[in-house]
């Protein structure tokens, strides 16, 4: 990545983000009468019984993170949660616009 110019690095990073979005897993689960939540099997393959999970609630959204990973990157995780919440608010207000990846990269080149 050192050999890429500034725009090349930016395009590379955007593509990495887009790939990350494609790998995102989404599932629906229920809360029991005792407040228990089942993490779907496909999302808990690398979790161990008894492993501690940190849950952060912010304006109706829940963020789950392994305790051992959370404590290492606490500041980063809190900043990510804050930015995610802010982006979600802008999305709900209709402040996002939709475009395909090529148009997005062209728009970034204007910056």
Q: How far apart are CA 27 and CA 81, in angstroms?
A: 19
Residue 20 located in a structural domain: yes
Structure tokens at 84: 């995610």
Residue 30 located in a structural domain: yes
- The domain total for the chain is 1
Residue 15 located in a structural domain: yes
pLDDT (tens digit per residue) in 11-48: 666 665 655 555 567 788 889 999 999 898 888 888 99
The pTM of this model reads 0.44
Residue 14 located in a structural domain: yes
Confidence of residue 2 (pLDDT cuts 50, 70, 90): low
Residue 1 located in a structural domain: no
pLDDT (tens digit per residue) in 88-111: 888 888 887 777 888 888 887 887
CATH number at residue 43: 2.10.260.10
Question: What DSSP state is assigned to residue 98?
Answer: -
Residue 63 located in a structural domain: yes
Domain that holds residue 99: 6-109
3-state SS, residue 32: coil
């Amino acid at each position: 990545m050192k050999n890429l110019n500034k725009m090349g690095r930016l395009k590379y990073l955007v593509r990495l983000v887009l790939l990350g979005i494609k790998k995102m897993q989404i599932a629906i689960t229920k809360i029991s009468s005792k407040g228990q939540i089942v993490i779907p099997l496909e999302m808990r393959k690398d979790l161990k019984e008894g492993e501690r999970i940190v849950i952060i609630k912010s304006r109706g959204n829940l963020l789950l993170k392994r305790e051992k990973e959370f404590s290492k990157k606490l500041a980063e995780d809190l900043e990510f949660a804050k930015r995610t919440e802010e982006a979600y608010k802008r999305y709900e207000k209709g402040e996002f616009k939709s475009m395909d990846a090529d148009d997005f990269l062209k728009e970034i080149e204007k910056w």
